[in-house]
Amino acid sequence: NAGVTQTPKFQVLKTGQSMTLQCAQDMNHEYMSWYRQDPGMGLRLIHYSVGAGITDQGEVPNGYNVSRSTTEDFPLRLLSAAPSQTSVYFCASNGLAGADEQFFGPGTRLTVL
């Protein structure tokens, strides 16, 4: 199993550009989540999904969109990038809600100029 994969690993954008961060998992997990990690602030939840076709907002959803058309994929879209979105983004997946540990991808380091 590849686990949780994320692409790209690094990305530089200009303010106002849009892009999609890809996330895929091959463990047939129902739950998938997107977090951003900023220095000294731990991980903050952006959006999450409890299954194909079902998504919900986390703590910091503004400026981001998600969709879940399949169990495996959970892309994160930046609609119009802003410097405040410079961060490291992690995708995670897990099985039964509340009980299973999360499996994390390697992260995408995004810089918005």
Sites of contact with another protein (CB under 8 A)? 4, 31, 33, 35, 40-45, 48, 50, 56, 58-59, 90, 92, 94, 97-107
**Residue 61 in tokens:** 């959803």
Q: Which is nearer to another protein, 15 or 26 (CB)?
A: 26
Q: How far is the CB of 39 from another protein (least distance, A)?
A: 10
Start-to-end CA distance of the chain, whole Å, equals 36
Buried b (16+ CB within 10 A) or exposed e, 24-57: bbeeebbbbbbbbeeeeeebebbbbbeebeebee
Kindly tell me which of 5 and 17 has the beta carbon lying closer to another protein.
Answer: 5
Smallest gap, in angstroms, from Cβ of residue 76 to another protein? 15
Measured from the CB atom, the residue of 3 and 16 that comes closer to another protein is 3
Do 47 and 56 contact (CB within 8 A), yes or no? yes
